[in-house]
A and B are shown apart, each in its own frame.
Chain A
Amino acid sequence: MRNILAATALIAAAAISTAAYAQQKLSADDAIKAAFAKAPDDWKDRLMPDETMKHCSAFKNNPPAAIAAQIQKAAKASIKYPDDGKFMGDWKKGEAIAQSGYGMRFTDYPPQRASGGNCYACHQLAPKELSYGTIGPSLLNYGKLKGFKEEAVKAVYERIYNSHATLPCSNMPRLGANGVLTIDQIKDVVALLMSPESPVNK
């Protein structure tokens, strides 16, 4: 009896101390799961970083060379290319995609239209749009500065599809790889950057 009591007391004490330290020992994954416990099932995958994001988060976007190489390799493998081999679509549609920040917020469901690329949130592009952000570099005259070269057109496509193929742990969203933009939308945005007729290059 005494042993049983002592054992119960021990168990109770253990329970209290786990309660006391539960928050202290909480892993980031568990904290996030609990904070978003009411999320619909088809949103749960947003809570967990994939391999690339796990590394980028852990190294604050400054991964050691070996890991950077691994990220870059995976990013390159993720890129799907257009069936027709053409990288440029319609720059006018591209401008609309660059302007639009619509999509994938919990207030955007059910979707009313295709998601945008929100490029202006982070980049300067066409000179007449003065409301642009500065998280990414200015892309004014981008095509002109690249001499409108064919390799540059392909490189921009890849960049937008998965920026980590060029710069591991880039701060830019993986707009193609994450399914934010379709291949056709990416082609339109590539035209916005690379077409000589685009306002970006005028």
Chain B
Amino acid sequence: MKLTGIVLGVLCACVAFAAPANAQDDATEKAIEQYRKMLKADPWSNPGLLDADRGEQLWKTPRGPKNVSLEKCDLGKGPGVVDGAFAELPRYFADAKKVLDLEARLLWCMETLQGFDRAELVKNPHPSGGKPVKELGAIATYVAHKSSGMKFAPKLDTPQAKAVVALGEELFNRRSGPFDFSCASCHSTSGQRIRLQGLPHLSDPEEAKKVVGEWPGYRVSSSHVMTMQHRVFDCYWQMRMPRVELGTDATIAIIAYLSKTAEGGEISAPGLKR
């Protein structure tokens, strides 16, 4: 915790400092680098773990109209098994008759086990700027953290799952809207940046392996955790598309495609992001 305080101090200083945009960004980059080193020395100084803890409590607490916990939720490795479950997601779930990513599966469990109203859960699922991740996201952070250190091995080899990955790839390359953007407009070449923000080449396995496993991630620029469904929501916002709904077949397919591309990469969630 002490280390966290020091690093946050450094970051705040550089944000307050009225330097030209690039120097400021440079300083942010350096601070993030320093942050990373400190996390290596002391993994527990990761501020995203506060949300993972909150998520663990939420997972274990009886909630919803049926007043049960999520401890019977089957994330793919059997009811209640959290360790290593995220590493094998997205995957096909026979009960839902669908391929689901982590957040869509949690949605399913909250609806079917706890009796929450799905429409309510997806109405406003992402925090606005500067607000902590919501409950579903905190639980997702907890579950993902329980696969930290493992390698991505999504179960996407059945014909059904392959079709979903293919759909994800098609959506990744689908251009529309007033700016003619697809995900590929910004994420299909190495070393490019928009303004000064680096853009990972997400259809390249080597680059996808490095970054996809860092989600949910702690974003230094907003000092809060952001989930993968929220990341995709935010990129659709930049694409001038309407608000994309959480846990739909389209966002599941995109995340399946990203996860398949990142197969074999190490999970380090919650990761540290700009």
Contacts and interface: CB of A to CB of B under 8 A. Distances in A.
Nearest to A172: B180
Contacts of A105: 237-238, 240
Contacts of A22: 97
Interface in A59-107: 60-61, 104-107
A48 B184 CA distance: 17
B4 interface: no
Interface stretch (A5-13, A30-38, A140-148, A189-197): A30-38
Given A122-B194, A130-B22, A23 B99 contact: yes
Contacts of A107: 237
Given A28-B170, A121-B194, A104 B176 contact: no
B68 interface: no
Given A31-B250, A57-B182, A106-B242, A46 B25 contact: no
A180 B179 contact: yes
A201 to B, nearest CB: 22
A43 B185 CA distance: 21
Contacts of A46: 176-178, 240-242
Interface residues of B, number: 50
A56 B163 CA distance: 21
B133 to A, nearest CB: 19
Interface in B202-256: 237-238, 240-245, 248-251, 253
Contacts, number: 134
A110 interface: no
A53 interface: yes
B150 interface: no
Given A130-B20, A178-B180, A135 B192 contact: yes
A131 interface: yes
A28 B194 contact: no
A131 B171 contact: no
Interface in A33-54: 34-40, 43, 46-50, 53
Nearest to A58: B173
A20 B158 CA distance: 13
Contacts of B159: 24
A43 to B, nearest CB: 5
Contacts of B174: 28, 32, 49, 57
A121 B239 CA distance: 13
A174 B179 CA distance: 7
Interface of A: 19-26, 28, 31-32, 34-40, 43, 46-50, 53, 56-57, 60-61, 104-107, 120-122, 130-135, 171, 173-174, 178-180
13 contacts: A20-B160, A23-B160, A23-B249, A26-B167, A47-B242, A48-B176, A56-B180, A105-B237, A106-B237, A134-B192, A134-B193, A135-B194, A178-B180
- Sorted nearest first, the 5 A-B pairs with minimum C-beta distance are A39-B242, A35-B250, A35-B248, A131-B21, A24-B163
